[in-house]
Amino acid sequence: MEIAPEPSTAHPWGDAPTPYEEVGGDLVVRALVEEFYDIIEAESPGLRAMLPANTSTSRQKLYEFLSGWLGGPSLYMERRGHPRLRLRHMPFDIGTEEADEWVRCMNQAIVAVGIEGPVATFLSSEMHRTAVGLRNRPDPGVIVPRIS
């Protein structure tokens, strides 16, 4: 029987106690959010259409959320309460295409701010999982059975 090799890092994201610390803390989280929204504004008209004309509040909310979600200060919870992600995203028409586009923009931002290695892989995977969970409509051509 072959024994699995020792993991190369202490956690799926690396050696730091939290992903927040692994990416570099507050300044990097803030830069990630700014880059993410800049990419949406420049390259993603579908996602941009879901946002208000002025994205400063959206940027602040995502920064606060990611700070806590990554294991840093729980800014969102302290200021706004539980994030209730599915509920807050229900007004938006989110299918696989929109979720994939959101993940593409986030992955591009991760690279642009210099996050790399296991923490980049971890973030990409977790962001994808979260985006898939926020889908709230069937994709075109999918027939949803009616239960009476």
Per residue in 24-59, pLDDT (tens digit) is 999 999 999 999 999 999 999 999 999 999 999 999
Q: Assess if CATH 1.10.600.10 describes domain 19-133.
A: no
User: Are 28 and 66 spatial neighbours (Cβ–Cβ below 8 Å)?
Assistant: no
Positive or negative: CA dihedral 9, 110, 93, 75: positive
- Domain ranges across the chain: 19-133
- Give the global pTM: 0.88
Residue 12 has pLDDT above 90, yes or no: yes
In this structure, of 74-83, 94-103, 115-124, 134-143, the range with the lowest mean pLDDT score is 134-143
How does residue 146 score in pLDDT terms, banded at 50, 70 and 90? Answer: confident
3-state DSSP: the chain helix, strand, coil percent, rounded to 5? 55, 0, 40
